[in-house]
Amino acid sequence: MTSALDSTDKLLGTGKRQVKIVVVGGGAAGLGAAGAAQGANPDAEVVVYTEFEDVAYSPCGIPFVHGKEIESFDTLFLATKEQYVESGIDVHYETTVTSIDPDTRTIQVEGEGQVRYDRLVIATGWLYADPGVPGADLDGLYRVKDIRRAMEWDKVLDTTKRAVIVESGFIAMEMTTALRHRDIEVTLVDPGPWPMSDVADPEIVEPVRQSWEDLNVDMQWGNKVTAFRGSGSLTHVETEKGEVVADLAIIGTHKVPNNPLAEAAGIKLGSTGGIVVDAHMRTSVDGIFAAGDCTEIPHGVSNVPLQGLSGSRAYSQGKTAGVNAGGGSREYRPVYVPWGMLAGEWMLGGVSFGETTAAALGIDFVTGIANGITRARYYPGVKPITVKLLADPTSRRLVGAQMVGGEGIKERADFLSMMTRTGITVDEIATMENVYSPAIGALNEPIAVAAQNLVAKL
């Protein structure tokens, strides 16, 4: 920490200069970092810069407001602007940080000039990958992310007749169902052979594909968008297999880290383009931490670094970075990536690898599958569930899991994630105990049955 004072420095009662912790980014990681930094060092001055009008809302909830499952965008906000003022976190809205100078420990801020920091947390998040085709600047292309834009787009959806979903990323999958709930004709164009084919195995995602078929979604697997066309506004989308008339396109391409600022400051990036961090979320530059989707985190099973994880991980990483920036000590862990989502009428989920991703990396595995039910067979509301486990044939430990069902996916994904992390063998899982109570659990737990089926193959 530098000891010289400048005109913007604040002094504590002891006459010592107040430590200044600056956070760039107001998403889950940025606000997690700001709150944790203040908790670790209540005397610190904590300042957050965001380009947007709002901070700390749940962008993952946007498709469900569009689909009318959630009544209002207001419910997606975690806290009001006044609450941040009251908690002592100084949030600068609609303010762009243009550069970082690690040598002088300053940042350049549009409208504010040079601003000093003692410790900096970069939480600049992610962007949708450029579809890389002509016409990507036309009106009518919607990238679901910013809540203010979502409020404007929601009014547009009232008059939208036909939409094209460009690739089946997580949010795009949810938007597919949401648009059908709004009675908008939907064409889904994806180069993969089945939905979410870079993540999910075909038999796991098949019920989702069927439910979209029931919702009259025009699914074009193995097809690719080649251009967006229109005069000012989108009128149709060109694909390798022909034209699709559309007044709206949802861009569902994969997440890429938003790192021009970090890269220009000389902070090391990894093979994913994410900022290289250690378990304390320290970057390659002293005094600078990073968290969330702009970073990459090693995978617990393969040690391959991963980027573009969900908000829950961004928030935890932000808290880790914030505690350490505040002078405390906290470690983050390699990730095992429990995931889950609602798609069509089904819940999908998993942990770590599926068969497609494990085979791509060249990992040896054996699978075990079980089809079960989520409650007693006679209890109202009982739903089917399929659990697929993958285990290493030598160590007999879990490599990953995938699931689809009517309910109970999230809890099983979290549970299997801890099983993978702690190295429990499939032999132990095959003999696990389970809750049996007609309203909430069946006699046979499908995880145990899948493990028994897997053990039988070893």
Residue 26 binding other proteins, by CB under 8 A: no
- If DSSP codes are grouped into helix, strand and coil, which group holds residue 263? helix
Residue 133 binding other proteins, by CB under 8 A: no
d(CA 70, CA 64): 6
CA distances for 92 relative to 200, 269, 378, angstroms: 40, 27, 56
Among 388, 425, 424, smallest CA distance to 409 is for: 388
Which listed residue (42, 113, 193, 393) binds other proteins by CB under 8 A?
Answer: 193
Residue 445 binding other proteins, by CB under 8 A: no
Residues making up the chain, counted from first to last:
458
Q: Least separation, in Å, of the C-beta of 305 and other proteins?
A: 4
Draw the binding track, 198-237, toward other proteins (x: CB under 8 A; -: no contact). Answer: x--xxx-----------------xx-x-------------
Residue 287 binding other proteins, by CB under 8 A: no
Helices H, strands E: what count in the chain? 12, 26
Q: Least separation, in Å, of the C-beta of 294 and other proteins?
A: 8
Q: Least separation, in Å, of the C-beta of 257 and other proteins?
A: 5
Enumerate residues 347-366 that contact other proteins by CB under 8 A: 355-357, 359-364
Instruction: Count Cβ atoms within 10 A of the Cβ of residue 415 and give its class: 0-12 exposed, 13-18 middle, 19 or more buried.
Output: middle
Residue 134 binding other proteins, by CB under 8 A: no
d(CA 65, CA 273): 32
Among 195, 208, 175, smallest CA distance to 60 is for: 175
d(CA 324, CA 274): 20
Residue 18 binding other proteins, by CB under 8 A: no
d(CA 76, CA 153): 16
Which listed residue (269, 419, 426, 429) binds other proteins by CB under 8 A?
Answer: 269
Q: Per-residue DSSP letters for 426-454?
A: HHHHHT-----BTTTB-SS-HHHHHHHHH
Number of residues that bind other proteins (CB under 8 A): 60
Which listed residue (60, 70, 79, 127) binds other proteins by CB under 8 A?
Answer: 127
Enumerate residues 239-268 that contact other proteins by CB under 8 A: 256-260, 263, 268
Enumerate residues 301-340 that contact other proteins by CB under 8 A: 302-305, 331, 333-334
Beta carbon nearer to other proteins, 79 or 424: 424
Residue 423 binding other proteins, by CB under 8 A: yes
Between the two ends of the chain, the Cα-to-Cα distance in Å is 57
Q: Least separation, in Å, of the C-beta of 413 and other proteins?
A: 19
Return residues touching other proteins (CB under 8 A).
126-130, 191-194, 197-198, 201-203, 221-222, 224, 256-260, 263, 268-274, 276-279, 295-300, 302-305, 331, 333-334, 355-357, 359-364, 397, 421-423
